[in-house]
Amino acid sequence: MASEKFRRQLRQESEVWWREGLIDAQLYETLATRYQFRDIEVNARSQFTTILISLGGILLGLGVITFVAANWTVWSREVKVVLLMATFFAINTIGFYLWRSPSENGLKKLGAALLLLGGLTLGANISLVSQMFHQSGELYELFLVWGLAVWVMALSLAMPALSMLSVLLLGFGYLRGMMYTIMAQDLTIYHLAILHMPLLSIALILPLAHRSRSRITFGLGALLFSLSFLMNLTAFGNWRGEMAIVLPAALVWAYSVQSPKKWIEPSFQSIARKIALIWLAVVFYVLSFNAWTSVSISPEMFRVSWGAHLLVDIILCSTLTIWLWLKLCRQWSQFSLLQERSLNTGVILVMLVLTAGSLYTHLNLVPLVVLAPLLFNILFFVLSIAAIRDGLALGSRRSFWSGMILLIIGIMTRTLEYNTGLMTKAVVFAACGVGVILAGLWFERNIHHHASMSHPQLQEHNS
């Protein structure tokens, strides 16, 4: 469906063409039917009504909040609970009624906004009710419970906005609760949720992303899984650091090859592989610094109770990763297009094996103080050059400029890290600037050349 701005401009221009005799009445009616000229004014009135309702709702809400704040200390606890519950159910009921309206107008968007507001007010209700009944707790516990409650709402309604809100709340609760879990002596249910956040992110967020068909929700869930798996295995005693770094990228990359059934569509193949490549780029960049003398195992903080829970996550996630990679190997011939890329599954597998092998060797066998930074510098530059090559081969500006940015960052970082003179730095910076300009101009020229060459072929094919 064309945008409303385009439809409005087309209606104005077509009316001018009709008056000037460039088109006849039949062609104008065809355009009016195809682009729904008669619905433009109706949509404009609907949007204006939505703005008025939204503005009035905001003012009404401010008035209600002010009234409640003025009488909050006077009312009894029962009145407060009834008021909070009534407000929550009223917002969600009205929002659900408007959101389920069959007409695609501003009221449907207003209903979605009210449902999102209902998810936000849920946290305030939980906090206020806990205070009234003298149930004290940490802030991260509130966010974990709040995120789980919003997850139930998002899963039942299949709303992308509520899905993203649920992931953000769970992620904030996890980051906030890490310090409390590290210092905890007895593990509560909230500490267990922090320790098993990788499994929870797979079990909760993955079906939520598929049901709401939200790429952002899937991306946030993959990021939460990767960060929680890395932080859990490294924060609790630097245990199995090589697996903490390699397994998230391996699992996300292998998951993207799935061919799900209808009830778990879409497959999120594109965003999954992008997240895996971004993860590897960050890992290679961080490990390319010449600071491997400080990379070691610190088992002093390790606890048996922590290790038992982490071992469960490691076994389940590793089993899932191995199963996905075996399935990927069996379906290798079905992905010939992806094999033509420089950053294909074989290259990613080699990078993962080299990363895990070097980390395991350094942490457990022989320190690789010199070889490890050299290896990860090579991997970082190979990743950037491969992205540039894919951008040129596929005509993708995003891949080309991502590779160029990585290449420039790698060159400038190594220049600044090592003790080089100002003259050398000036030459490197100037060369990078000139290289970016020339590469950009050449890429744009190459893109236009391929487009001009393929256009006549397309016309010949159509004829």
What is the domain extent for residue 407? 370-456
| C-alpha torsion angle, residues 208, 211, 215, 217 (rounded to 10) | -20
In the block, tokens 């003790």 appear at 419
Domain assignment present for 438: yes
- Within a domain: 398: yes
Q: Does the residue 436 lie in any domain?
A: yes
Q: Which of 151-160, 241-250, 259-268 has the lowest mean pLDDT?
A: 259-268
pLDDT above 80 for 440: no
Region of 237 on the Ramachandran plot (φ > 0 left; ψ -120 to 50 alpha; else beta)? left
**63 has a pLDDT exceeding 80:** no
Max intra-chain CA distance, the chain:
86
pLDDT at position 4: 64
CA distance 105 to 91: 19
Does residue 115 sit within a domain?
Answer: no
Q: How many domains does the chain have?
A: 1
| Per-residue pLDDT tens over the stretch 317-374 | 999 999 988 888 776 655 544 456 677 888 889 999 999 998 888 888 888 888 888 8
pLDDT of residue 227: 93
The residues, ordered by sequence, that sit 6+ positions from 296 with a Cβ below 8 Å of its Cβ are 238, 363
Predicted TM-score (pTM) above 0.85: no
The per-residue pLDDT for 197 is 92
Which has more confidence, 288 or 108? Answer: 288
Residues 239, 310: Cα–Cα separation, whole Å: 9
Q: What is the pLDDT of residue 461?
A: 40
For 203-254, the pLDDT digits (tens) are: 999 999 988 888 999 999 999 999 999 888 877 655 577 888 999 999 999 8
Q: Answer yes or no: is 97 within a domain.
A: no
Query: What pLDDT score does 459 carry?
Result: 42
pLDDT at 337: 45
Domain assignment present for residue 410? The answer is yes
Provide the pLDDT confidence category of residue 169 given band limits of 50, 70 and 90. Answer: very high
Residue position matching structure tokens 């780029």: 281
**Cis peptide upstream of residue 373 (ω within 30 degrees of 0):** no
The answer to whether position 282 is within a domain reads no
Count of C-beta atoms within a 10 Å radius of residue 230: 19
Highest mean pLDDT among 89-98, 129-138, 230-239, 341-350: 89-98
Report, as an integer, the average pLDDT of 264-282: 84
Q: Is residue 145 part of a domain?
A: no
